[in-house]
Amino acid sequence: MNYVLNSLLRKVKQTRCALLPAIALALSVPARTAPTDYTLTVVTKTGETISGKTLIGFKLPSFGANSPAINSNGNVAFYATYAEGVFVGEGIFTPTSLVLKTGDVVRGQILDGIGFVPALNDAGTVVARGLLSSGASAVLTTTALLAKTGDTISGRTLTDLGIPVIDNDGRVAFVGSFSGGAGIFTQAALLAQSGQLIAGQTLDSFGSPVFNDRGMVAFQSWPSGGIGSAIFTPTALLVKTGDTIRGKTLTDLFFGPALNSAGTVAFIGAFSGGTGVFTQKSLLVQAGDTIGGQTLTSFGSPVINDSGIVAFFATCRRGAGIFTQTSLIVKTGDAICGRTVIGMGQPAINSDGLVVFVVLFSDDSSAIMLARPKVTQ
């Protein structure tokens, strides 16, 4: 049931582009402070053909550019729309192959639509959210329906499913709705649900979960009748509205958390007078800080790896870019392979610090970019 991608990225086009200043890191316990350069490589771009499908975009019109997935082996999976003659479809791709597409039949069910954020583990298994011709929402791989609306898990019959994540043991987690509530599910179990009490907080609604390499799951929830928002595991409270971190008292938590194998979560927090990128113990960067000559004004969802490198999309006074807590990777106005960057999507990061993201160009083309940190001697 696994779709093995290991070794596929070895065939990725070796298009080397401009070197841009970018990253070196620090995390909740800073390890490095000096920026290092990144080499940007085009993984694939609109106009290229993969498995007979000509790529025409990496985004849905109503959602903007979407985050690709990358595992510790450097393999990449991504959502794309494609053309095949006059037909336009959507699918999940690697740089060299088509993994899943609309019209595929999985266990007797036709796939009518595909979620725009795939998940990928180190075994190469790709999982995505899909819409079936029966009208059911599903979490699926190329060969298996792992869960769908109408299924009963731990006594709860699913009425809706969210975007899935997958760990290295093949366990998949997602937000699921059921009559009278919602919860965090795997394909076999209910991990947390509305009405449950964790650390004195009664869970109500949920954001998308995240896994780390040790199988730990974390998620954002909005407890009922209490604090505004918090990040939990199924058994513990990690951080909440009202906590004070490095002198900043959190008034809200935005987007979903990211999680590394040490159990460190990265998230966007609001406080009186601003917003910033936090972990449970540190304020990494806040609006008004300058990184790579750019003054930051707002933030997208962060991602974190086991070295404590946090990458994120941010707007700045003169555009937007992909940053770490110490470095600029790419910004609007940069030239890549002779084309001008006008926008970019949320990044993903792996254990080696490789960062992958979508860039949009002024000529209406777009690309999946891989940023690789240069090794300093």
Q: How many angstroms separate the CA atoms of 68 and 347, rounded? A: 7
The alpha-carbon radius of gyration of the chain (Å, integer) is 20
String of DSSP letters for 8-32: GGGGS--EEEEEEE------SS---
Please report the pLDDT score of residue 376 as a whole number: 59
Domain boundaries 8-371, CATH class: mainly beta
Q: How long, in residues, is the chain?
A: 377
Q: Which two tokens stand for residue 253?
A: 């938590």
Residues 6+ apart with CB under 8 A from 246: 282, 283
Residues 6+ apart with CB under 8 A from 87: none
Please report the pLDDT score of residue 138 as a whole number: 97
Would you call 330 helix, strand, or coil by DSSP? strand
**Partners of 94 in the beta sheet?**
none
Do 369 and 357 meet the contact criterion of CB atoms below 8 Å apart? Answer: yes
Which residue, 303, 306, 302, is CA-closest to 352? Answer: 306
Q: How many angstroms separate the CA atoms of 359 and 338, rounded? A: 13
**Partners of 369 in the beta sheet?**
42, 357
Question: For the chain, which ranges sit under pLDDT 70?
Answer: 1-33, 36, 60-65, 226, 376-377
Do 178 and 192 meet the contact criterion of CB atoms below 8 Å apart? Answer: no
Which sequence spans correspond to the domains of the chain? 8-371
- Specify the pairing of strand 49-50 against strand 145-148: unpaired
